[in-house]
Amino acid sequence: MSERIYLLPLWIRLWHWTNALLIITLTVTGVSLHFADPKLPLVEFSLAARIHDMAGIALATLYACFVVANIVTGNWWQYVPKPPGVLERCIVQGKWYMFGIFRGEPHPYRVSEEANFNALQAISYWVIMYMVMPVMLLTGITFLMPEFAPDRFFGFDGLLPVAILHYLTGTVIIMFMIAHIYLGTTGKTATSMFKTMVNGWHEH
Protein backbone atom coordinates (compact mmCIF):
# COMPACT_ATOMS: atom_id res chain seq x y z
CA MET A 1 0.00 0.00 0.00
CA SER A 2 1.39 3.44 -0.86
CA GLU A 3 2.07 5.79 2.02
CA ARG A 4 1.82 9.54 1.61
CA ILE A 5 2.73 12.66 3.57
CA TYR A 6 1.69 16.30 3.16
CA LEU A 7 4.96 17.97 2.21
CA LEU A 8 4.56 21.26 0.37
CA PRO A 9 2.35 24.10 1.66
CA LEU A 10 0.38 26.14 -0.85
CA TRP A 11 2.77 29.13 -0.78
CA ILE A 12 5.73 26.99 -1.94
CA ARG A 13 3.69 25.52 -4.79
CA LEU A 14 2.38 28.94 -5.88
CA TRP A 15 5.88 30.41 -5.67
CA HIS A 16 7.36 27.48 -7.60
CA TRP A 17 5.00 27.54 -10.58
CA THR A 18 4.99 31.36 -10.86
CA ASN A 19 8.81 31.27 -10.70
CA ALA A 20 8.94 28.54 -13.39
CA LEU A 21 6.54 30.46 -15.67
CA LEU A 22 8.53 33.69 -15.32
CA ILE A 23 11.83 31.89 -15.97
CA ILE A 24 10.44 30.23 -19.11
CA THR A 25 9.20 33.68 -20.31
CA LEU A 26 12.63 35.18 -19.55
CA THR A 27 14.33 32.30 -21.39
CA VAL A 28 12.29 32.73 -24.59
CA THR A 29 12.64 36.54 -24.63
CA GLY A 30 16.28 36.40 -23.44
CA VAL A 31 17.23 34.01 -26.27
CA SER A 32 15.40 36.32 -28.74
CA LEU A 33 17.35 39.33 -27.48
CA HIS A 34 20.73 37.59 -27.33
CA PHE A 35 20.55 35.95 -30.76
CA ALA A 36 18.63 38.86 -32.30
CA ASP A 37 18.21 38.47 -36.05
CA PRO A 38 15.71 40.78 -37.82
CA LYS A 39 15.20 38.15 -40.55
CA LEU A 40 14.39 35.39 -38.09
CA PRO A 41 12.96 36.83 -34.86
CA LEU A 42 11.72 34.36 -32.23
CA VAL A 43 9.97 37.33 -30.59
CA GLU A 44 10.19 40.77 -32.25
CA PHE A 45 13.09 42.72 -30.62
CA SER A 46 11.30 45.63 -28.92
CA LEU A 47 8.44 43.38 -27.76
CA ALA A 48 10.96 40.85 -26.40
CA ALA A 49 12.78 43.69 -24.55
CA ARG A 50 9.54 44.94 -22.96
CA ILE A 51 8.38 41.46 -21.89
CA HIS A 52 11.88 40.58 -20.60
CA ASP A 53 11.97 43.77 -18.47
CA MET A 54 8.51 43.20 -17.00
CA ALA A 55 9.08 39.50 -16.29
CA GLY A 56 12.47 40.36 -14.74
CA ILE A 57 10.90 42.92 -12.36
CA ALA A 58 8.18 40.40 -11.46
CA LEU A 59 10.82 37.69 -10.82
CA ALA A 60 12.90 40.01 -8.60
CA THR A 61 9.77 40.86 -6.56
CA LEU A 62 8.81 37.19 -6.32
CA TYR A 63 12.35 36.30 -5.26
CA ALA A 64 12.22 38.86 -2.42
CA CYS A 65 8.92 37.25 -1.26
CA PHE A 66 10.55 33.79 -1.52
CA VAL A 67 13.47 34.83 0.72
CA VAL A 68 11.19 36.47 3.32
CA ALA A 69 8.78 33.47 3.33
CA ASN A 70 11.70 31.05 3.72
CA ILE A 71 12.98 33.00 6.75
CA VAL A 72 9.55 33.46 8.35
CA THR A 73 8.43 29.83 7.94
CA GLY A 74 11.88 28.29 8.63
CA ASN A 75 11.75 26.52 5.23
CA TRP A 76 15.34 27.74 4.53
CA TRP A 77 16.51 24.87 6.79
CA GLN A 78 15.38 22.36 4.13
CA TYR A 79 18.12 23.71 1.83
CA VAL A 80 20.91 22.95 4.33
CA PRO A 81 22.40 19.46 3.83
CA LYS A 82 22.55 17.96 7.31
CA PRO A 83 25.88 16.51 8.54
CA PRO A 84 27.32 13.99 9.21
CA GLY A 85 28.12 12.18 5.97
CA VAL A 86 26.98 14.82 3.46
CA LEU A 87 29.72 13.93 0.95
CA GLU A 88 29.02 10.17 1.25
CA ARG A 89 25.29 10.76 0.76
CA CYS A 90 26.01 12.92 -2.31
CA ILE A 91 28.11 10.11 -3.80
CA VAL A 92 25.45 7.45 -3.04
CA GLN A 93 22.76 9.69 -4.57
CA GLY A 94 24.88 10.52 -7.64
CA LYS A 95 25.63 6.82 -8.24
CA TRP A 96 21.94 6.04 -8.02
CA TYR A 97 21.08 8.75 -10.60
CA MET A 98 23.83 7.47 -12.92
CA PHE A 99 23.53 3.69 -12.50
CA GLY A 100 21.18 2.40 -9.75
CA ILE A 101 18.04 3.87 -11.27
CA PHE A 102 18.68 1.97 -14.53
CA ARG A 103 19.10 -1.30 -12.60
CA GLY A 104 15.81 -0.84 -10.73
CA GLU A 105 17.55 -0.32 -7.36
CA PRO A 106 15.39 1.35 -4.67
CA HIS A 107 15.72 5.11 -4.16
CA PRO A 108 18.54 5.63 -1.60
CA TYR A 109 16.77 8.51 0.14
CA ARG A 110 13.47 8.45 2.02
CA VAL A 111 11.74 11.84 1.99
CA SER A 112 10.41 13.11 5.33
CA GLU A 113 8.67 16.30 6.51
CA GLU A 114 11.84 17.26 8.41
CA ALA A 115 14.19 16.67 5.42
CA ASN A 116 12.39 16.99 2.10
CA PHE A 117 15.52 17.01 -0.11
CA ASN A 118 18.31 14.46 -0.58
CA ALA A 119 21.83 15.91 -0.08
CA LEU A 120 22.41 16.60 -3.81
CA GLN A 121 19.02 18.32 -4.15
CA ALA A 122 19.66 20.48 -1.06
CA ILE A 123 23.07 21.62 -2.35
CA SER A 124 21.95 22.28 -5.93
CA TYR A 125 18.76 24.13 -4.86
CA TRP A 126 20.83 26.18 -2.40
CA VAL A 127 23.40 27.13 -5.05
CA ILE A 128 20.73 28.06 -7.60
CA MET A 129 18.41 29.94 -5.23
CA TYR A 130 20.97 31.69 -3.02
CA MET A 131 24.03 32.13 -5.26
CA VAL A 132 23.07 32.11 -8.94
CA MET A 133 19.60 33.75 -8.80
CA PRO A 134 20.75 36.82 -6.80
CA VAL A 135 23.59 37.48 -9.29
CA MET A 136 21.22 37.08 -12.25
CA LEU A 137 18.63 39.39 -10.68
CA LEU A 138 21.13 42.05 -9.52
CA THR A 139 22.84 42.20 -12.92
CA GLY A 140 19.40 42.39 -14.58
CA ILE A 141 18.38 45.28 -12.29
CA THR A 142 21.70 47.01 -13.11
CA PHE A 143 20.80 46.78 -16.81
CA LEU A 144 17.50 48.52 -16.00
CA MET A 145 19.38 51.22 -14.04
CA PRO A 146 22.75 51.43 -15.86
CA GLU A 147 23.69 54.61 -13.93
CA PHE A 148 24.61 52.24 -11.05
CA ALA A 149 27.19 50.36 -13.18
CA PRO A 150 30.79 51.65 -13.12
CA ASP A 151 31.69 53.84 -16.15
CA ARG A 152 34.79 51.82 -17.00
CA PHE A 153 36.04 48.40 -15.88
CA PHE A 154 39.73 47.60 -16.57
CA GLY A 155 39.58 49.77 -19.70
CA PHE A 156 36.31 48.20 -20.93
CA ASP A 157 32.76 49.59 -20.77
CA GLY A 158 31.47 49.19 -17.19
CA LEU A 159 28.42 47.27 -18.42
CA LEU A 160 30.57 44.49 -19.94
CA PRO A 161 31.09 42.49 -16.70
CA VAL A 162 27.37 43.00 -15.91
CA ALA A 163 26.43 41.60 -19.33
CA ILE A 164 28.78 38.62 -19.01
CA LEU A 165 27.58 37.72 -15.51
CA HIS A 166 23.92 38.11 -16.54
CA TYR A 167 24.42 35.87 -19.57
CA LEU A 168 26.39 33.22 -17.62
CA THR A 169 23.98 33.04 -14.66
CA GLY A 170 20.99 32.98 -17.03
CA THR A 171 22.58 30.08 -18.92
CA VAL A 172 23.28 28.19 -15.66
CA ILE A 173 19.61 28.58 -14.65
CA ILE A 174 18.40 27.28 -18.03
CA MET A 175 20.77 24.27 -17.78
CA PHE A 176 19.58 23.70 -14.19
CA MET A 177 15.94 23.80 -15.32
CA ILE A 178 16.54 21.15 -18.01
CA ALA A 179 18.33 18.80 -15.55
CA HIS A 180 15.74 19.60 -12.86
CA ILE A 181 12.82 18.58 -15.11
CA TYR A 182 14.59 15.30 -15.96
CA LEU A 183 15.35 14.60 -12.27
CA GLY A 184 11.70 15.42 -11.50
CA THR A 185 10.81 12.16 -13.29
CA THR A 186 12.86 10.04 -10.82
CA GLY A 187 10.21 9.79 -8.09
CA LYS A 188 8.06 6.75 -7.27
CA THR A 189 6.60 7.02 -10.78
CA ALA A 190 7.68 9.36 -13.61
CA THR A 191 4.92 11.84 -12.70
CA SER A 192 4.69 11.56 -8.90
CA MET A 193 7.11 14.43 -8.11
CA PHE A 194 5.26 16.76 -10.49
CA LYS A 195 2.00 15.81 -8.76
CA THR A 196 3.61 16.63 -5.38
CA MET A 197 4.48 20.10 -6.70
CA VAL A 198 0.79 20.50 -7.69
CA ASN A 199 -1.12 19.02 -4.72
CA GLY A 200 1.53 19.07 -1.96
CA TRP A 201 1.31 15.32 -1.19
CA HIS A 202 4.42 13.15 -1.46
CA GLU A 203 4.07 9.41 -2.24
CA HIS A 204 6.72 7.05 -0.87
Minimum distance, C-beta of residue 161 to ligand HEM, in the bound complex (Å): 22
Under the criterion CB under 6 A, does residue 80 sit at the interface with ligand HEM?
no
Q: Pick between residue 71 and residue 152 the one whose CB is nearest to ligand HEM.
A: 71
Here's the x/- map for ligand HEM, 40-79, by CB under 6 A: it reads as --------------------------------------x-
Minimum distance, C-beta of residue 162 to ligand HEM, in the bound complex (Å): 20
Closest CA to 123 of 82, 163, 67, 172: 82
Among 160, 177, 186, 203, binds ligand HEM (CB under 6 A): 177
Residues 12-41 that bind ligand HEM (CB under 6 A): 12, 16, 19-20, 23
Here's the x/- map for ligand HEM, 123-152, by CB under 6 A: it reads as --x--xx-----------------------
What are the CA-CA distances from residue 63 to residues 60, 69, 191, 195 (Å)?
5, 10, 27, 23
Q: Pick between residue 99 and residue 182 the one whose CB is nearest to ligand HEM.
A: 182
Q: Pick between residue 32 and residue 121 the one whose CB is nearest to ligand HEM.
A: 121
Minimum distance, C-beta of residue 77 to ligand HEM, in the bound complex (Å): 11
Q: Give the C-alpha separation, 81 to 175, whole Å.
A: 22
DSSP alpha helices (H): ranges in the chain?
A: 10-34, 45-73, 86-98, 119-127, 133-144, 159-183, 192-199
Q: Pick between residue 37 and residue 114 the one whose CB is nearest to ligand HEM.
A: 114
3-class state of residue 118 by DSSP: coil
3-class state of residue 6 by DSSP: strand
Q: How many residues bind ligand HEM (CB under 6 A)?
A: 21
Closest CA to 138 of 171, 172, 161: 161
* End-to-end Cα separation, the chain, in angstroms: 10
What are the CA-CA distances from residue 48 to residues 25, 175, 177, 196 (Å)?
10, 21, 21, 33
Among 121, 139, 142, 169, binds ligand HEM (CB under 6 A): 121
